[in-house]
Amino acid sequence: MWLLHTETLKLHTFLSDPPDYVILSHTWGTDEVAFEEMGQPQVTERLGYRKVAKCCVQARKDGYDWAWIDTCCIDKGSSAESSEAINSIYDWYWSAATCYVYLADCEVIDDFEESRWFKRGSTLQELLAPNVVEFYNRSWGFLGSKERLAHQVATRTKIAVRYLRDRNMIHSACLATKFH
């Protein structure tokens, strides 16, 4: 697993037992920074890089030295690594200390439920797997936690509040509930 150091923005690999890290859930833009581009000086002006840098700033404020961001922490040039990422992603979200959800199309809480982030296929696992989920607007202003916004998230996603508040409950949900 590759992690990004939140101070240096350099990638490091951890073969087992990674340190505590935050994980970023977001919608991809047209200007994302890929694994092989990290560390190149010309990428620092791109919007995708600014998103990575702001995530790392927030992580440092919260006391974390490491972050995982799908755009730049997966070596997509390696089929073995891409395959590992696909097979491990739920576990990585589960193991993250905190999941930051960056809503690029949201400035105020009134925009929250209309964010395109809710329309993605991977939103489900990124909401349910992490223990702590925090939502941030396009300016990296804190909108609220999954706990605090549970009723709004439930309204938008049709996921029952009890599953949002206790990630272990989904494992005991009946099949009909899981596929509802």
Higher pLDDT, 170 or 99: 99
Number of domains in the chain: 1
Q: Which tens digit of pLDDT belongs to each residue from 2-12?
A: 999 999 999 99
The answer to whether 68 and 24 have CB atoms below 8 angstroms apart is yes
What is the extent of the structural domain holding 52? 2-177
The answer to whether 154 and 116 have CB atoms below 8 angstroms apart is no
Q: What mean pLDDT, rounded, does the chain reach?
A: 89
Tell me how far apart the alpha carbons of residues 59 and 102 are, in angstroms, rounded to a whole number.
Answer: 13
pLDDT band at 45; cut points 50, 70, 90: confident
How large is the average pLDDT for residues 74-95? 85
